[in-house]
Structure 1
Amino acid sequence: MTDAHYPPCEVFAEDNKTMIGFEPDLWNAMGKVLGVEIKPVSIDFAGLIPGVKSGRYDMAMECISDSAEREQQVSFVNYAYATNEVYTLADNKSITTDPLTLCGLKVGVQAGTDFEHAVTDILNPNCSKNGKAAIAVTRLHSADAVLLALYAGRIDFVLNAAEIKKVAPRPQALLGALNVLWRNGEYELIMHKWDLQPVMLEQPGINLFSTRPMK
Structure 2
Amino acid sequence: MTVRTRQRGLGTRGLVALTALLALVVSGCGGPADADPPAGIEPGKDVLSALAKDDAIAALLPAEVRDAGVVRFASSVGGTPPSAYYADDNRTILGQDIDIAEGVAKVLGIRIEREVAGFEVILPALTSGKYDVGTGNFGVTEARKQTIDFVTYINDGQGFAVRADDDRLGRVDSLVQLCGLKIGTGAGTTFEATLEKEKHVCPDAGKPPYEVLSFSENAAVFLGLQQRHIDVVMSTINGLRYAADNQPNLEFLGEFKRLDVGFAFRKGSPLAPAFRAAVDKLIATGAYQAILAKWGTTDSAIPRSEISPPEHD
Shorter-chain TM-score above 0.5: yes
- Match of 1:68, as an amino acid? E
- Match of 1:30, as an amino acid? V
Aligned-partner Cα distance in 2 for 1:162–1:102: 21
* Rg larger in structure: 1
- Match of 2:197, as an amino acid? D
> Which position in structure 1 is the counterpart of 2:39?
none
Q: Which has the higher contact order (CA 8 A, sep 6+)?
A: 2
Q: Deviations over 1:44-99 (max 9, x none)?
A: 10111122111111110111112222222222112232321110001111112254
Q: Is the 8 A contact 2:225 2:233 kept in 1?
A: yes
> Which position in structure 1 is the counterpart of 2:210?
135
Q: Is the 8 A contact 2:162 2:232 kept in 1?
A: yes
Aligned mate of 2:191, from 93, 105, 115: 115
Aligned-partner Cα distance in 2 for 1:94–1:4: 32
> Which position in structure 1 is the counterpart of 2:142?
68
Structure having the higher strand fraction is 2
> Which position in structure 2 is the counterpart of 1:55?
129
SS for the counterpart of 2:197 is helix
Q: Is the 8 A contact 1:94 1:101 kept in 2?
A: no
Q: Which moved more, 1:35-44 or 1:113-122?
A: 113-122
> Which position in structure 2 is the counterpart of 1:157?
232
Q: Deviations over 1:138-196 (max 9, x none)?
A: 111111111111111111001122433434676637xxxxxxxxxxxxxxxxxxxxxxx
Q: Is the 8 A contact 2:82 2:96 kept in 1?
A: yes
Q: Which moved more, 1:151-160 or 1:68-77?
A: 68-77
Structure 1: runs of 5+ lacking an equivalent:
174-215
Q: Deviations over 1:8-64 (max 9, x none)?
A: 111111122221111111111100111101122211101111221111111101111
SS for the counterpart of 2:150 is coil
Check if 1:91 corresponds to 2:165.
Answer: yes
Check if 1:106 corresponds to 2:179.
Answer: no
Aligned-partner Cα distance in 1 for 2:148–2:138: 12
Q: Deviations over 1:87-130 (max 9, x none)?
A: 000111111225433111000111111101222334x4443443
Aligned-partner Cα distance in 2 for 1:101–1:27: 38
Aligned-partner Cα distance in 1 for 2:148–2:230: 33
Q: Is the 8 A contact 1:7 1:164 kept in 2?
A: no
- Match of 1:86, as an amino acid? F
Counting only pairs closer than 5 Å after superposition, residues 1-215 of structure 1 correspond to structure 2 as 1-5=74-78, 7-97=81-171, 99=174, 100-122=176-198, 124-160=199-235, 161-167=237-243, 172=248
Q: Judging changes above 3 Å, is the alpha-carbon distance between structure 1 residues 36 and 162 closer, same or farther for their aligned structure 2 residues?
A: closer
SS for the counterpart of 2:149 is coil
Aligned-partner Cα distance in 1 for 2:89–2:244: 20
> Which position in structure 2 is the counterpart of 1:180?
none
> Which position in structure 1 is the counterpart of 2:278?
none
Aligned-partner Cα distance in 2 for 1:54–1:18: 28
- Match of 2:217, as an amino acid? S
Q: Judging changes above 3 Å, is the alpha-carbon distance between structure 1 residues 135 and 52 closer, same or farther for their aligned structure 2 residues?
A: same
Question: Root-mean-square deviation (CA), in Å?
Answer: 2.1
- Match of 1:90, as an amino acid? A
Structure 2: runs of 5+ lacking an equivalent:
1-73, 250-313
- Match of 2:76, as an amino acid? D
Q: Is the 8 A contact 1:9 1:62 kept in 2?
A: yes
